[in-house]
Every structure is written in structure tokens, then in C-alpha cells.
Amino acid sequence: MRIASAPARRISAAEAASLVKSGFWLDYGGCLAQPDVFDLALAARVNELSNVGIRSSLAARPRAVLECDPEGTHFQWYSWHFTAYERAKSDAGICYHLPPNLGEIDDYYRRFIDPIDIVVIKVRPADADGVFNFGAMNGWLRALVERSKTLIVETSTAVPHVYGVGNTVHISEVDYIIEGDNAPLPELKSPAPTGIDRSIAHMIAAEVEDGACLQIGIGGMPNAVCSLLRDSGARDLGIHTEMMTDGLIELYRAGVVTGARKTLDPGKSVFTFAQGSQSTYDAIDNNPDMLCCGVAYTNLPHNIMQNDKVFSINSTTQMDMQGQAASETDGHRHISGTGGQLQFARGAYASKGGKSFLCMPSLFEKKGMRKSRIVLNLTPGNIVTTPRTDTMYVATEYGIVNLKGKSVADRALAMISIAHPDFREELGRQALENRLIPRAVSLAQEKQSKTFLTV
């Protein structure tokens, strides 16, 4: 536990921003914990400062320090996981990625990152015992508290009170308190599921058994899975996830999620941060069924695997025929981040009866361009998020295949079978020419059925 050098003092946002010096490292925590009035006050000092580094993650709204400094000469923003906003700032050359397995970040701060000059995080106002609740973001905030030279909390009544483990900071640990604007928390709207999303979701939902423990990402397809599970008659589902989403809250409200069959934290829906609509923030507020834990607890595979029937459902953007999944870049352009995808793929596989799914549409289509998302070689520069050895089930709108225990040839044939039909012949030819599929195997396939291969 951190002990402040003096009792916490209440100061204005401008006074807090005046503590920052050129060359300082700051940390905004990430997600819904990012400060707002402090950010504005710091941006007001843009011409007085240089070389100020700021770490954060998943910026939920525009950041004043970036908007006031379009050339990035005064403030440099470093993010553990990009949102669309951070992606745009990365394209502009003023936002930089820190590659993590999300579940390891608090360990990075404790082992590899120097103490932080100033940490500023948004919290709920202190209760009668002097305890500030982190609300919908636990993540690695306790590590930030412990590693901060100066700790500032920005209070907001909009922050929900969320039950959890290590989800608070005591006033004795805090150096300064600033009052926030109490504006509603930023909402993250999920896109409506497409027809392809629903096709994939139907196949995955059919695999989910009573008592399954869910980790589901955000987006149209995961939301479609949740909607189908809500109406499927599945019972006693559990939640042990990285991100609490609107779709998972829908399942909870419908009574489909009880957590009754969980081994780890039975009866509790476990997550490390929530981001979605105000309805989700209302659902987790003062709700004893919810448990917001540190990211090391939620994301490390040896914890994930303790629940039986863990179903990990995540999206990817491109895969090769051997099962490598590139989920976070488009060439050298950074899009999102590794997040918990790899750790949940490993944890779900190790879980008794568990299954890990990587999902994607078979095609990338934009402005009249059509490309297969299943390819011989990943786009040059693409980062492999999930290695071929960790990939279990892969789903497109054309089916689901399991790659575990399969040879390179079997993997290639399986991946081609769920590619878009317009590209199967070309992919088969490429696999044959590059010896992923031996000639004898391709001939045997042709004898068994009408095949995509032209030999």
C-alpha cells in the first residue's frame, strides 16, 4: 500500500496541472478512468511544456493534450490498446503503441517501468471511510498507485460504485484531490450485427452448453452471439471476461447468466473493465453480482482455466492457411491491440471442456475491392496476435473448423473450406504450389468430393 508523504489536499485542476514539468512521465490509467478536467488544464499549458509522455489506453473521448498539439511537439501519447480515436492520432504520427498481453501490464509497471512522475485517475468521490472507488476500470490501476511519485485523483459522481477486488484507493495513499465535472461517462456504441455476423453467431451459439463461462469481445458479431444465447434456452451461464459489454449485461438481465456452475467466483460476473452504454454502467453500479478485478486476475490463463467450459469468442481480421491470426494491424498500420485475445485463447483451451473461437467474415470489402481474409501469407508488416499453435476453432460465415491436432496440410484444407467460394480455387493452388498440401493429399481430396483444387 502506498503512503502519501502528507495528508491529501484539495486543489484546482489548474493547480494540479502546474505540477507537471517538461520531461515528466504521466499516466492517465485508461478506459473510463482517464481524467477530463485535468486533461483540459494540462492542455492549457501546452506552450510551457515539452517532451511530456502520457501513458493510457482505450481513449473513450478526444484528449485535450492531443487536440491542442497536432504536431506532437509538446505531448506524446502512448497507448496499450487503440480505439478508433487513437488509431487516427497514430495515423497522424502523434500516438504510439505499447504492445502488451493486457493481463501482464501491472507486472510491467512493477518490474520494467520506472516510477511515474504523476498519475492522474478518475474515481468516485470518497465514502465515509475515505475510500475512492475506481468504478468500471480496475485493470492495472493498483500498480499505478504503487508506482506513482505523485498521485492525483479526479472525482466524479458519474463514476459508478463497482464491487471488486483491489478496486479502490484510500485517501491516505492520495497526494491531491481535484473535483471533476461530473459529466456522464462516455458511451461506446456497438455496431448493429450484419447478416454475416448473425450467420457466424448462430454457429457459435449452437456450441455453447449450459454452465459455460463466457469471455466475449465487443462488436456486431459478439453482440449477435449474446442475443442468440439470450433466446436459446441456455442456462446457468457464467462470465469471466476482460471487458464487460452491453451484450453480456443483456444476458445477465435476462436471467441467462447466474454463475451458479462456476468454480472460480461462483455467482459473480467477473471483469476488469466495462465500456458500453449508460445502461451497462447503471447495471454494474452497486450490484453485488458484479466483481471488477485486476487484469492479472481476469486475464492470466492459469486463472481463466479454473472455470470449466470456458468459451472465449474473439474477432480477428486476417488469417493464413496455417492458422496464424493477425487481429491488431493492417500491415504496419496499428489498429487496436493484442488485448486479452491470446491469453483467453490459452486459458479457454486449458479449461475442462473449454473452447476458443476466432471469428471473421470471409471477405474484406471496401470501395469495390474484395479480398479474402484467409490468405497464403499475411499482409507484410501484419502482427501475429494468436500463433498457429494456439488457434483452436476458426469461424467464418461458411463454417467452423478446429485446427488443434491437425497437420499443416489438414489446416490448409480446413481453412480453405471456410474461405469465400470465389477464392477457394486460388487458395488451393497456392497451397499446392507452396507445398502446404502435398500432391497426394490434393488428389485424395479430389477423389472424395468436388474439390476447390485444380491439379
List active site positions: 242
All cell numbers assigned to 51: 517532451
Which of these, 249, 207, 200, 243, lies nearest to 221 by C-alpha position?
200
Which of these, 186, 185, 155, lies nearest to 169 by C-alpha position?
155
Distance CA(187)–CA(184), nearest Å, equals 9
Which of these, 245, 135, 254, lies nearest to 189 by C-alpha position?
245
Which of these, 192, 194, 191, 197, lies nearest to 396 by C-alpha position?
197
DSSP 8-class letter at 386: B
Distance CA(285)–CA(291), nearest Å, equals 11
CA dihedral 412, 415, 417, 422 (to 10 degrees): -100
Distance CA(12)–CA(44), nearest Å, equals 14
User: What residue has cell string 498457429?
Assistant: 388
All cell numbers assigned to 369: 475491392
- Phi, psi of 300, rounded to the nearest 5 degrees: -75, 130
